[in-house]
Homo-oligomer: A and B are copies of this chain.
Amino acid sequence: MAAKKRTRKTTAAKRSPSSKQPYDMALIQRGSRLRRSPFFDKTLEAGCRAYTVYNHTFLPSYYDDPVNEYWHLLKHVALWDVAVERNVEISGPDGFAFMQLLTPRDMSKCRVGQGKYVLITDEDGGILNDPVLLRLEENRFWIALADSDILLWAKGVARHAGMKVAIREPDVSPLQVQGPKSKELMADLFGDKVTTLPYYFFTRTDLDGIPLLVTRTGWTGEVGYELYLLDASRGGQLWDAVVKAGKKYNLRPTGPSDIRRIEAGILNYGADMMIENNPYEVGLGWTVDLDKPGDFVGKAALQRIKDEGPKWKLVGVEIDGKPIAFNMTKWAVLAGGRPVGRVTSAIYSPRLKGNIGYAMLPIVHADLGTELTVEHPDGRRHATVVKKPFLDPGKEIPKA
């Protein structure tokens, strides 16, 4: 038995799409420690070739060459299992007050039925997460998380805060439907109720009786939606219904597109920003409302950082040389032969026909046009500080 298990599955190219288990999960897991999304079995069936781990849960990474998936997203509809965006619910009589405490953004400007991109910061103004927040009721919020245990953070802050608040992980599993034809698909499935949603708004609906929220959000800079499945037991049903309706729009399951999100200037928590970074240095100062009433975690530190001016800046960079598939580590950036910063993300953009990415640099090296050297694993490369976003500045990704 053990000897049988030891044998690795054949490579992706040789795998039959009808194979029961097209991906050898033992490459990423032994035992039941990691969680599976309600769509997991469907992603295996659909031929997912690689998974990563995000919020203790498997995230389908790609089914095909990510460049093919990128073009598909630009032309048709892409379906992503992003149930790894685990949600935390803040509710109770002091739900609003507690949410105001947790984020630098002013929640009084978020209506019920509206969403906001928010940061969660610690006492030093360091970024703990960058969720999409939904305001469900006056005192009830969901935050769809990047990869860190904000459930524990929020429960910890609440312990001595003296507020009446309940904090839990609700049964919510987002599924992204992105791409230019996603609007027509939504119209077919849900009608005007969904297609007239302004950016970052949401509505409660259902599909064949499957309870859903539909949000006008995404991680692409393309037109897109997220279906928040509200009953984990019906993940397979929802997947099948969307795939069926999407056939005429050439829908296919893909992984999240790093190429497209970098083109659009979107950040990836853990890569482009971490607890060590503050909102101002990563260009997210617009989410910090220092003048909102009351206290919030990190307020004093963020006021000081703003007054003094950030010392670092996450800039756009163009990197010369052969196409970069992606960076597996944060490559050193040199100025005058001396290491000064790090490339956090780098990728080849087929539309821009060049390598683009982000670098975290001291302010003195962050001016547009600054020439730098990047320590690529295959050798040094010339790079230049450029404006970001690289494409569609502000059109499809208004500040919301």
Contacts and interface: CB of A to CB of B under 8 A. Distances in A.
Given A50-B26, A348-B1, A11 B13 contact: no
10 contacts: A1-B323, A2-B65, A11-B11, A30-B326, A31-B345, A33-B52, A33-B271, A56-B148, A122-B155, A159-B297
B33 A51 contact: no
A239 B328 CA distance: 22
Contact of A61 (B8, B30, B66): B30
Residue from A12, A53, A161 having most chain B Cβ neighbours under 10 A: A53
A392 interface: no
Contacts of A152: 122, 128, 148-150, 152-153, 156
B28 A28 contact: yes
Nearest to A151: B275
Chain A interface extent, by class = 35 or more
Given A1-B348, A56-B147, A160-B161, 10 more contacts: A2-B325, A5-B325, A8-B49, A26-B326, A31-B258, A32-B329, A149-B152, A152-B156, A154-B156, A156-B157
Contacts of A67: 2
Contacts of A156: 152-159
A370 interface: no
Contacts of A236: none
A109 interface: no
B1 A31 contact: no
A3 interface: yes
A249 B258 CA distance: 46
Nearest to A330: B32
B26 A123 contact: no
Interface of A: 1-3, 5-13, 25-34, 36, 49-53, 56, 61-62, 64-67, 122-123, 128, 147-162, 255, 258, 268-271, 275, 297, 322-330, 344-345, 348
Contact of A13 (B1, B7, B258): B7
A61 B65 CA distance: 26
B123 A159 contact: yes
Contacts of A52: 28-30, 33-34, 53
Contacts of A330: 32
A55 to B, nearest CB: 10
Nearest to A152: B153
Contact of A11 (B8, B322, B323): B8
A327 B29 CA distance: 10
Contacts of A5: 65, 325
A27 B28 contact: yes
Contacts of A147: 33, 56
Contacts of A160: 157, 159-162
Nearest 9 pairs between A and B by C-beta?
A: A156-B156, A160-B160, A53-B53, A149-B149, A33-B270, A1-B323, A152-B153, A8-B11, A2-B67
A30 to B, nearest CB: 5
A328 B122 CA distance: 36
Nearest to A35: B270
A383 to B, nearest CB: 16
Contacts of A328: 25-26, 29, 31-32
Contacts of A2: 65-67, 323, 325, 348
A3 B322 CA distance: 13
Nearest to A3: B65
Contact of A327 (B6, B28, B32, B50): B32
A247 B128 CA distance: 44
Given A28-B27, A326-B30, A328-B32, A149 B159 contact: no
A271 B345 contact: no
Contacts of A33: 52, 147, 268-271
A7 B28 CA distance: 19
